[in-house]
Amino acid sequence: MPDSTLITTANLDKIYPLGLTMLKALDQINLSVTNGEFVGLVGPSGSGKTTLLNIIGSLDEPTNGSATVLGHSIKSLSHKEAAQLRNRHIGFIFQTFNLLPVYTVFENVEFPLLLQGVNSFRRHKLVMDALEWVGLADRAESKPAQLSGGESQRVAIARAIVKKPEILLADEPTANLDAANSHHIMKTMMQLNKELRTTFIFATHDEKVIAYLRRKITLVDGKIERDEDMTVKRVVPQ
């Protein structure tokens, strides 16, 4: 598959009102991400990683400048169009897993397909394939409360990939996991990236995650400080 640009931002600012003052969370962000990249937005807390991720995921919109995702200008999308973009093309993985507590593992993973109106037979196959991918097919009927942190995050990954999105956004995906689980999760995501050509964008300050990145964008005070190609110096932990 030829490389193509999925995400571009141009002079993107995000400004929040903070009491009587304004807080500039993102300041003149210019970047582009192409198909199949494994990118990390890295930086300390408050550097604007999650804000940028939310804008790319159409959960938020820029104050100034533009963000274009899969050819859609985020600023001009209606609520409904943004929801459709998220449902069909973007997967999310959250720090706290955000599994729906009353649903089983199977139902959690099935949820995005229900919204897409996929028929029952195909839904079942896709869900089980996704659970096989993350090694949790045998926990399909468990409730989230019965899972460990690592298992919960793998369910969240299965939910994100079940619809085969072009872009997968992960906000601090290993922050609540121990080292072994973190490596397991990152290896699963690298494998997905390799086999499905899914574009991954992480927001993280976890060194364990950073070690896996092929591109590292460092944000400081809402500005891109460095944009590095890590493939030349990457050492994947064993």
Partner 1 sequence: MLTLKLAFRNILGAGLRTWLNVVSLSFAFVTIIFLQGMYHAMNDQAEQATIDALYGGGQYWQKDYDPFDPLSLTDAHSAIPAELEPLVRANEATPILIRQATIYPQGRFRTVLLKGIDPNQRIVSIPSSFLHAESGTIPALIGTRMAKSTGLRKGDALTVQWRDVHGTFDARDVTIVEVFKTSVQEIDQEQLWIPLDQLQAITRMPNEATVVVLSKSPLTAGQGARPSTVSAGWEFKDLNFLLRDIHELVRTKNVGGAIMYSILLFLAMLAIFDTQVLSIWRRKKEIGTLMALGMTRTNVIGLFTLEGGCHAVMAAVVGALYGIPLLGYLASTGIALPSAADSIGFAIGERIFPIYSAGLIAGTTILVSIVTTIVSFLPSRRIADLKPTDALRGKLS
Q: How many CA atoms lie within 13 A of 155 on its CB side?
A: 31
Name residues contacting partner 1, limited to 210-229 (CB under 8 A): none
Per CB under 8 A, does 84 bind partner 1? yes
Residues 44 and 220: their CA atoms lie apart, in Å, by 7
Token pair recorded at residue 132:
């096989």
One DSSP character per residue, 172-232 reads STTTTS-HHHHHHHHHHHHHHHHHH--EEEEEE--HHHHTT-SEEEEEETTEEEEEEE-TT
Options 36, 40, 48, 112; binder of partner 1; rule CB under 8 A: 112
The residue (of 87 and 176) whose beta carbon lies closer to partner 1 is 87
The residue (of 72 and 208) whose beta carbon lies closer to partner 1 is 72
Candidate ranges 34-42, 53-61, 122-130, 215-223; the one touching partner 1 (CB under 8 A): 53-61
Q: How far is CA 20 from CA 15, 16, 60, 134, in A?
A: 13, 11, 22, 47
Per CB under 8 A, does 57 bind partner 1? yes
Strand order in 21-34's β-sheet? 21-34, 5-18, 64-69, 72-73
Residues 234 and 211: their CA atoms lie apart, in Å, by 7
Count of residues in contact with partner 1, rule CB under 8 A: 27
Residues 142 and 108: their CA atoms lie apart, in Å, by 10
Candidate ranges 77-85, 131-139, 176-184, 220-228; the one touching partner 1 (CB under 8 A): 77-85
Per CB under 8 A, does 154 bind partner 1? no
Per CB under 8 A, does 23 bind partner 1? no
Q: How far is the CB of 115 from partner 1 (least distance, A)?
A: 5
Name residues contacting partner 1, limited to 156-195 (CB under 8 A): 159
Residues 108 and 158: their CA atoms lie apart, in Å, by 9
Candidate ranges 55-63, 194-202, 207-215, 219-227; the one touching partner 1 (CB under 8 A): 55-63
Per CB under 8 A, does 114 bind partner 1? yes
Per CB under 8 A, does 199 bind partner 1? no
Options 96, 146, 148, 191; binder of partner 1; rule CB under 8 A: 96
3-state secondary structure 51-66: HHHHHHCCCCCCCEEE
Query: What element of type H or E holds 134?
Result: helix 120-134
DSSP β-bridge partners for residue 3: none
Per CB under 8 A, does 19 bind partner 1? no
Q: Give the binding site for partner 1 (CB under 8 A).
A: 54, 57, 59-60, 79-80, 83-84, 86-88, 92, 94, 96, 98, 100-103, 107, 111-112, 114-117, 159
